[in-house]
Structures are given as structure tokens and as C-alpha cells.
Structure 1
Amino acid sequence: MDVVNDAGQGMERAFKALYERYAGPVYAIVIRYLRSPDLARDVVQDIMIKLWERQETFARAHDLEAYLFTAARFRAIDVLRAASRSEALKSEITRQFQDNPPYIDDEALHRDYRLFIQRIVSELPPRSREVFRLCREEEKSYAEVAEALGISRNAVRNSMVLALSRLREATLKEWGSTLPLALLLLGALKR
């Protein structure tokens, strides 16, 4: 790509062209995760500044678009991690999620969330998997699940505790925070 080669040579005009071409799509990815326009704009600025600072590296990049879109996702997740340590940031993200619920047509993000949850749930013992599916995906009460499976209500509760504990651990390990898990379970499983 000529624009990338020009940017690698330090030309501001080329960088401006890169910014104009990619800032919008990068913003679209970040806003899906954060729902906060201010935070999303900050993340886009950070990514584009890094691109400018490391222009020699990107002059040799074969797929700049893939790099930028991956960087956008990872940086948004980093902001969610930071939110777990900052009450102000946590409040801002939570408020934005309440004010701007997930997009109905946001299939890629929804798919990522569902795949993450499915991967963790698939690692559960069979009974816990079935209990989780009935409680979360079919929205049955513990009493209804207990009756359907012929087990006690306490066994249903224990299976759900195990499932949610594993999801919480995996979220903490992969994202550094349990905040995304709460947001995932509220929105992703009800579709």
C-alpha cells in the first residue's frame, strides 16, 4: 500500500490519509466494547499515535487494517481491565452500557461473547452444563430445572455456582476483570 510506504518515510500527509481512512472503522470496533464515545475516541487517538510513533515498523506491515482492528479490540479490553481498578471509569462504562444497550445487529461482538461463554461452559461437567443451559439460555427457574432433571433445587444451585465461578475465573484470567462478565451475562445470553 503506497500510503503505508509514505507513512514509513515520515510524511505527515500520508499519516493524515491513514487516519482518515482507518479512524472511523477503528472507532466502530472500540465503541462496541466500551459504549462510551469519549473513551472510544481516546482509544482511537492512542492507537493512531502509536501508529505514527512506530511508522517504520508499519511501513513493512503486510496487513495494516488487520493490525489496527486487532489493536482496537485489545485496547478496548485493556480499558475494561482498567475499569475494574477505577471506580470512576467503571461508573462511566456502566452508565454508557445502560444508556446505549448493545446493538441488535452487532453480530461479530455477540458471536465473540457467545463463543467465549460456550467455550467455558463446554468445559463444565455434563450436569452443570445442562443446568446452566436451562437456567441461563432457556431462563428456567431453579425449581423448574430441578423438576425437569429430577434433581434437588440445591443441586441446581450448586451447579450454577460452579458454572458462574468458572466463567468469573476465565473472565478474570483473559480480561483481567469480572466487569465484562457481568455485562456479557446481562446482554449476550438473552438473545
Structure 2
Amino acid sequence: MTLQTGPRLLDPSPARPRVPADELADLMIAAARGDQDSFARLYVALAGPVYGIALRTLRSPSHAEEVAQEVLIEVWRTAASYRPERGSVLAWALTIAHRRAVDRVRSVRAATERDQRVTREEPGGPPSVVDEVERMLEGARVRTALAALSGAQRESVVLAYYGGYSQRQIARIVGVPLGTVKTRIRDGLIRLRAVYGSETG
């Protein structure tokens, strides 16, 4: 399947998706069965938010477009692995986008550091294995902590902190009262601190 990107789809603002959450879930189920028309609609709904989180992380439109393309291809290829009970389609896609964008930051940083070493003609050795392992473990700890949240808590936290949505926007996206979203985020952050603290302690 060929996917296209462009300014019309890649709007960096975290505006509320035009497609309701339950309809996105239906489109995902159809896409998992290989329905390209459903995925095309899913693509249009997700492209802007996915590009937005990539751009906020990378600060480079060209890198953000590449990451957004990679994420949307991954959504197409792994649609069957989506589980509604673990959160909305949007939260799932934004989690993938954040992970991909962070990976790209690390890759670009490593390439820049290599280039700088060559330019300075210094013999410096390869990047510290200890530093790389620490970065990997840090990402694993965050994923483990997020996995400890309830589906509703994880969805609200991901939309707020990865997606950049306001609590009011999240309430509209997931279709619950604003107070419920505030409670989910508060309880989710308390749980994250507890789990993350035990992981790092």
C-alpha cells in the first residue's frame, strides 16, 4: 500500500480528531482485515496528531514527516495487534509516534556525535555502552510504568503528555466528563510515580 503525506494531512496542532473514538476503533478493526478504504480514512484522522507529536519531539519538519510516515505504516501493518481495552486508537498511535520520534532523536544525535568526532579528527572510541544501556533501560522503565496503569488512565495520560491535548480536549475525545479525565490523569500520575520509583529504586 502506498501512503502519501503532505501539509494538508500533517497539521501539527493537537486539535480534536474529526472522527469519533468509536468510529476510529471500527476503522482499525476493518483495516486489520485488510480493508484499504477504512485505513485511508484512519490515515486521514491520525496523520495530523501523529505528525504533531513527531514535530514537537524532533523540531524538524522533514524528520517529523518521515517518522509520521513510518508510524502510519506501522499502524497499517500491526492493526490486528490493537486492543480497544488498552485505550483509544489515537492514544495507541501517539504512543507509537512518541517511541519512534525518540528513537529518531537518538539516531540523529549519535550520527551528529560521530560526525563531530571525525571533524575534530579525534580518536575517541564508540559511544559508551553504559550510556546506551542506561537510555534503553530508561525507556523500558517508562513503558513498564505505563503498562501498570488501567486502560482508561493510560489513555488519558498518553493523550495529555504524548499528544499535547488539554484535559478538556481529552474529555471530548474519549467522551467522558472533564472531572473524570482529571481524576484519571491524577490517579495515573500517582500510580506512575509509585511504579517508576520502585523500578528505579
Same fold by TM-score greater than 0.5: no
Q: Which has the larger radius of gyration?
A: 1
More helix by share: 1
Under TM normalisation by the shorter chain, which class is it? 0.3 to 0.5
Instruction: Pick 1 or 2: higher relative contact order, CA cutoff 8 A, min separation 6.
Output: 2
User: TM-score, normalization: structure 1?
Assistant: 0.45
User: TM-score, normalization: structure 2?
Assistant: 0.43
